[in-house]
Amino acid sequence: MPEYDTVADLYDLEYDHDYDLPFWLALAQREGGPVIEWGAGTGRIAIPLAKAGFDVTGVEISNPMLGLARKKSKSVRYVLGDMRSAKPDRRYRLAVCAFNSFLCLPSVDDALAFLRNAREHLLPGGLLGIEVSAFTPEELAETSGIPALHHDFTRELPSGRLERFSTSRYDAAAQLLEMRLFYELYGSEGELESKRANDLTIRVTGRDELVLMLRLSGFEVEAIYGGFEGEPFTAGSDHLIALARRA
Ligand SMILES: C[S@@+](CC[C@H](N)C(=O)[O-])C[C@H]1O[C@@H](n2cnc3c(N)ncnc32)[C@H](O)[C@@H]1O
């Protein structure tokens, strides 16, 4: 079962940020459509791109996530499928794989399968943009040994609040960060309405590994940024963004 199936209903409460949208919109304006988003989730990026007038396809493996995107907007062409193998029947000028969708691929082979598939679906000279979280060794080291429970955030909701806690364990050999997320939903009177736990694993990927994988998959890497303002990528960057053109 896709990992996001069981947390789809909470996704838009957890992730309502839009600081990355101007970056993807500017890229779409520069490159032109059609645009494909691989791992489109509930349409957080795909829908604003479509609203801006681009012809957008969103590929997503989780049916509940895609169902929520469909409810929010009919202006995106949705494809339920795996980014390693889905075959939308057209090719695109711009491909986006953002907000850690790439890190959901659990091995180098899975990442390469996706990159080759993404390349196949780009027009000659088309551009792929990948954005993932960058982790410092200290952040990952924190997660070795006995896992500590962290309070990640509180989200105030119209009818109460959502709290998230987590524990993480980092397997440095496999580069897998295994997280257990604990959600608690409280009602307007502060009463606990429901709680649940969900496991999520991501594969941490560094700059040079990403560059190498892109080259092996037939891309020329045009730019590496450490943030959405085009900052250089450094050891302290929170984001790793790669722009790579179909060679
Ligand atoms: C962190 S969410 C990001 C969603 C969206 N890009 C955003 O910015 O809000 C990662 C998404 O990638 C999807 N995903 C993970 N593995 C996938 C795969 N192999 N094929 C397609 N989608 C996948 C997940 O189901 C999830 O919706």
Domains for the chain: give ranges and CATH numbers.
5-134+205-246 (3.40.50.150), 137-203 (2.20.25)
Q: Compute the distance from residue 103 Cα to the ligand 1 centre, in Å.
A: 9
> Residue 57: beta bridge partners?
36, 77
What tokens does 58 get?
Answer: 């969103």
If residue 11 lies in a helix (H) or strand (E), which one and from where to where? helix 8-14
Distance (Å, whole) CA 231 – CA 225? 5
In ligand 1, the atom with minimum distance to the C-alpha of 8 is 27
Q: Compute the distance from residue 191 Cα to the ligand 1 centre, in Å.
A: 32
The pLDDT score that the predictor gives to residue 141 is 82
The pLDDT score that the predictor gives to residue 139 is 86
Packed helices 108-120 and 207-216: angle between N→C axes, nearest 10 degrees? 50
Residue nearest to atom 10 of ligand 1 (CA): 101
Q: Which of 5, 104, 131, 164 to mutate to test the pocket of ligand 1 (most atoms within 8 A of CB)?
A: 104
The pLDDT score that the predictor gives to residue 211 is 98
The pLDDT score that the predictor gives to residue 143 is 65
The pLDDT score that the predictor gives to residue 43 is 98
Q: Which of 14, 61, 97, 179 to mutate to test the pocket of ligand 1 (most atoms within 8 A of CB)?
A: 61
What tokens does 243 get?
Answer: 């722009």
Low-confidence ranges of the chain (pLDDT < 70): 143-145
List pocket residues of ligand 1, CB cut-off 6 Å: 2, 4, 15, 39-41, 44-45, 59-62, 65, 82-84, 98-101, 104
The pLDDT score that the predictor gives to residue 144 is 62
Q: Compute the distance from residue 235 Cα to the ligand 1 centre, in Å.
A: 26
In ligand 1, the atom with minimum distance to the C-alpha of 4 is 25
Label residue 137 exposed, middle or buried (CB < 10 Å: 0-12, 13-18, 19+). exposed
Q: Compute the distance from residue 11 Cα to the ligand 1 centre, in Å.
A: 11
